[in-house]
Homo-oligomer: A and B are copies of this chain.
Amino acid sequence: MHIITLTSDWIDNDYYVASLKGKLLSNCPDARIVDINHRIKPFNTAEAAFVVRNSYPSFPPDSIHIIAVNSEPEPGGQLLGARKDNHYFLCADNGMLGLLGGDKPEQVVRLNTVREQEPASFLTMSVFAEAACALARDIPLAKLGGETSTYSSQTPLRPTIEDHSITGSVIHIDSYENAITNISRELFERIGNGRPFEIYVQSKHYKINRINRNYNETVPGELLAIFNTVDLLEIALRNGNAARLLKLNTSSTIRVEFYEHSSRSEGSG
């Protein structure tokens, strides 16, 4: 029994999400359908990749993830099916596969998209539904289109590193207004090597010099830094609203400077 997850920028106040579910239920009623998120900002490939990247590992192996964001096919048929990390991904050839991070896909095919009767707009929906149901019926990926290795592959924006510093960005503001950065715990510990540090948020006015283990260790109203559920450095305010207060948005700069033990500056705030 396969799970098919759905991520789109269709929001869900139109009929598109329901139509896709109807097609899936009509063609592979044994599959279990789970919405990940239909409120991706229109055409925002990076946001969709972030959400899927951080949720797909929770699902069982062989789950099938439809990512219908920025996926209207260019002339020539550019919808992809991929096998990666024991999961299947159906998305457009728009850089999404690379933005999912992790290992390179083991196998990528260009999905067959020629449809005689179908209106050309939203072809995506029919192609994805058909491919998802084929995979849910254990039809091999290789049968769904021609294999390819020349697909568009953006790499996620990575922090810049130097001996004593990491310069990263805010990549996502969550529903609590926490600012999630692209600085991983692994990178932080590797460059930091146990040294004391200051985290500068947005400018040298906001500084944090320790990492909390959880949100509740600080006084309400105080800024804190924490590694989140996917081990990314996150800037938060006890009880929310960090991003709004600090006027943070995606692309805001977060800089970590590491010090030798004798030169650490005092305080945080």
Contact = CB atoms under 8 A, between A and B. Distances in A.
B11 A175 contact: yes
B34 A213 contact: no
A25 B34 contact: yes
Contact of A213 (B10, B22, B120, B175): B120
B121 A19 contact: no
B14 A37 contact: yes
A84 interface: no
Interface in A22-46: 22-23, 25-26, 29, 32, 34-37, 39-40, 42-43
A59 B26 CA distance: 6
A32 B37 contact: no
A119 B229 contact: yes
Given A19-B229, A26-B58, A13 B175 contact: yes
Nearest to A10: B175
A95 B19 CA distance: 23
Contact of A121 (B54, B121, B229): B229
Interface residues of A, number: 67
Interface string A134-152: 0000000000000000000
Interface in A229-251: 229, 231, 234, 239-240
B72 A122 contact: no
Contacts of A36: 15, 18
A22 B56 contact: yes
A222 interface: no
**Pairs A-B, 6 closest by C-beta atoms:** A22-B58, A18-B55, A22-B59, A18-B36, A15-B55, A11-B175
